[in-house]
Structure 1
Amino acid sequence: MQKNVRKDLLGPVRIWDLPTRLFHWALVICVLGSVISAKVGGNAVVWHMRLGYAVLALVAFRILWGLVGGRWSRFSSFVYSPAALLRYLQGRPKADDHFEVGHNPLGAYSVLAMLAWLLVQVGSGLIADDEIASTGPLIRFVSGELSLAWTSYHKSYGQWGLFALVGLHVAAIVFYRLRHRNDLIGPMISGDKQLPSAVPATIDSLASRLFALTLLGACIAAVYLLVSLETV
């Protein structure tokens, strides 16, 4: 593991490509704005829905980028087996484990849980009905009973589950900073980590960034078409 490597043998290695970093901070802003606008209510509900659409586009992009993006942003680099998780918890990694490079097993599972939870939360919002002034754009495709059930979920279990996942994420950042002196925020800003030079860097070229922008544009277009079904 990295902690056994002399510090003078470490150097900056690009781990998080720019699309991944921009996705991360854009998602933070959109989720925070969505929560605040929901609590404010009134006319702010319009922004709650808009930000929900943005979250859906971002999550869709991240799923695609997890398949074709930079090396350490791909799911194949951080979808760990239960055995790998056990090795991590026991502090007995194998030589080919890369727990200190991208996401460690706990971080990986939290990322996957967050993406899945956001998909369900936004999906429930698309068919929700607050019985006051706003309804989800896809509400006409489901029964009233199903809509009310998912509306209840959206406002209760979905909301509090999201708060719990965000809280765990923040707690993990603080824990690794204080306990292991491991800064998780810095690399998500700069893209680089201090690692042995043998660690392969991710591709973060102009071409890969333009490709990511194209994927994001396709995701935005897809979400726009989806929510436009309300008026078709």
Structure 2
Amino acid sequence: MPTRLELTPQSALSVIVTHALEMERHTRNRIAIGLAGGPGSGKSTLAAEVVTTLNATRPGSAGLVPMDGFHMRHSKLEAMGQVDFKGAPHTFEGAAFVNFLHHLKASRDTVKGPLYSRKVEDVVDDAFEVAPDVRVLVVEGNYLLLTEPPWAGVKPLLDFSVYLDVPRETVRARLLKRHAEEGLFTEERNRLHIERTDLPNYDLVFESQNRADLVIGIISER
């Protein structure tokens, strides 16, 4: 069973950064730290803060690797008739994500990767890069700890994995706010998508937390 801590986001940041620095000191290899959790758990924000803090300590040492850049393209989902389930595990290029991580762990060259833009609801190619000097990859995404293929290939590539546990009702409220802020769809559509896709994904990911090295129950009023 993983270690479990109840922490505020700021304390979680401190714990993860401290562990990353300790791991980096004990190896010459590039390491990957995974931040997993359901949609709306705050993992993207925390992962970005981990990278910023590591780079403030040691400039250029950390790079952010978001799983969301491996969404299937919207046109592909339309052709498959799966737009309504966008965000579910089968709507990602999971095998490509595993291959990308494998390449990143070993690469000594600059590697570019894709990002997902909520502004256009689609993938943007070559939207970020990982420089050769990066020592710590901070990988974040919903499905890092799943046991189903191809996702099962992610966990062996992570040197340390953290699951962020946030209450389901908190997640629902955050997702409603997130979708509303983008302004792309009606409130009715957003509520339907959250109930049909986001919360079932949350439930699926929740069951994978025992595969993490550390589970952090996030103490937050937001």
Give the number of the structure whose residues are more often helix, by fraction: 1
TM over 0.5: no
Higher strand share goes to which structure? 2
What TM-score comes out, normalization by structure 1 length?
0.30
Q: TM-score, normalised by structure 2?
A: 0.31
